[in-house]
């Protein structure tokens, strides 16, 4: 078995030269000051990785929820009730997605505080800080759009008020409101566009930003010890 796998790997490697791609990542040295196994207080350096871990579970639980969720105003609430009450482990998957949304915010906030207080955003890492702040905004947008999807009372009225607040912005407010809501009041168009934003637009943006975030860390390395 092992030799078969090795032969398959070598066959691919001969043609595509994949070894340097992953060896570069595998072999890069992780400095001691970020390693909690060496210094316990270095656990603060885990916040970023843990944020990514929760984002991964969000993507996975979201994919499973999408198998049952129906983004139209007649069925949305019933489909969420079906997930919660009928689907095998549906309440657990929905619970992961629900609590995970809050956990991403908390972990990301802690990660941001760590980066700020260790001054890791200073030159030459300014751009990665900016990308991180953009990720923060994208995650908030995930929260705002995802909140409407269960189509229950608190979802509906939170979005109704949120869009009214957006509409109260001078000059461009009404345009933002129409863009968000799709019409003059929260309804069928709002739900479909929030769904599309939540499962297509924002994930695309998030994956691009995360890729940039990680590529920049690899290019610039983790900031040195204080």
Partner 1 sequence: MAGGERIPGTPRYRHHLETNPGTEPFFPNFLLKEWIVGSVFLLAFMLWVVFNPVDLGDRANPDDTSFIPVPDWYFLFLYQILKYYPGSDIVVGTVLVPMVASLLLVFAPWLDTSKARHPFQRPLATSAMMLTTLLTIWLTNEAAVQHKAELDAASGKASAGLPVLPKIPASQIHLVNTNMPGYKLFEQTCANCHGKSGEGGLGPPIYAIGKYWNASQLKSFVNNPSGMMPKNGTLSSDTEVQQVVDWLSQQKG
Q: How far apart are the first and last CA of the chain?
A: 48
Closest CA to 33 of 46, 52, 50: 46
Q: Is 196 in the site for partner 1 (CB under 8 A)?
A: no
Binder among 7, 8, 67, 122 for partner 1 (CB under 8 A): 122
Q: What's CA 12's distance to the chain center, in Å? A: 32
Task: Please report how close the Cβ of residue 1 comes to partner 1 at its closest, in angstroms.
Answer: 20
Residue 54 CA: distances (Å) to CA of 61, 71, 100: 10, 24, 6
Residue of 12, 13, 35, 200 interacting with partner 1 (CB under 8 A): 35
- Among 53, 59, 205, 216, which residue interacts with partner 1 (rule: CB under 8 A)? 53
57 binds partner 1 (CB under 8 A): yes
Q: Taking CB under 8 A as the criterion, which residues in 139-158 touch partner 1?
A: 140, 143-144, 147, 150-158
Minimum CB separation from partner 1 for residue 165, in Å? 6
Decide: is 12 part of the binding site for partner 1 (CB under 8 A). Answer: no
Nearer to partner 1, 15 or 183 (CB): 183
Q: Which residues have CB under 8 Å from 205's CB, separation 6+? A: 138
Size (the chain), residues: 226
**Residue 6 to residues 17, 23, 76: CA-CA distances in angstroms?**
14, 16, 49
| Pick 174 or 187: Cβ nearer partner 1 | 187
Longest Cα pair distance anywhere in the chain, in angstroms? 68
From 10-18, 23-31, 195-203, 204-212, span contacting partner 1 (CB under 8 A): 23-31
Query: What tokens does 106 get?
Result: 């908390």
179 binds partner 1 (CB under 8 A): no
From residue 102 to residue 121, the character string flagging contacts with partner 1 as x (rule: CB under 8 A) and all else as - is: xx-x-------x--xxxxxx
């Amino acid at each position: 078995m092992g030799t078969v796998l090795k032969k398959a790997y070598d066959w691919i490697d001969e043609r595509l030269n994949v070894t340097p791609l992953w060896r570069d990542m595998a072999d890069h040295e992780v400095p001691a000051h970020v390693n909690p196994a060496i210094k316990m207080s270095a656990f603060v350096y885990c916040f970023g990785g843990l944020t990514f871990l929760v984002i991964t579970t969000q993507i996975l639980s979201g994919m499973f929820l999408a198998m049952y969720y129906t983004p139209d105003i007649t069925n949305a609430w019933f489909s969420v009730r079906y997930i919660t009450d009928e689907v095998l482990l549906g309440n657990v998957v929905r619970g992961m997605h629900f609590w995970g949304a809050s956990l991403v915010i908390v972990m990301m906030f802690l990660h941001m505080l760590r980066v700020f207080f260790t001054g890791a955003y200073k030159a030459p890492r300014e751009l990665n800080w900016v990308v991180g702040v953009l990720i923060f905004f994208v995650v908030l947008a995930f929260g705002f759009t995802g909140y409407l999807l269960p189509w229950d009372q608190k979802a509906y009225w939170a979005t109704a008020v949120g869009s009214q607040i957006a509409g109260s912005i001078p000059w461009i407010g009404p345009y933002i409101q129409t863009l968000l809501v799709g019409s003059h009041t929260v309804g069928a168009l709002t739900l479909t566009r929030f769904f599309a934003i939540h499962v297509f637009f924002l994930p695309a943006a998030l994956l691009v930003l995360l890729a940039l975030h990680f590529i920049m860390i690899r290019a610039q390395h983790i900031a040195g010890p204080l």
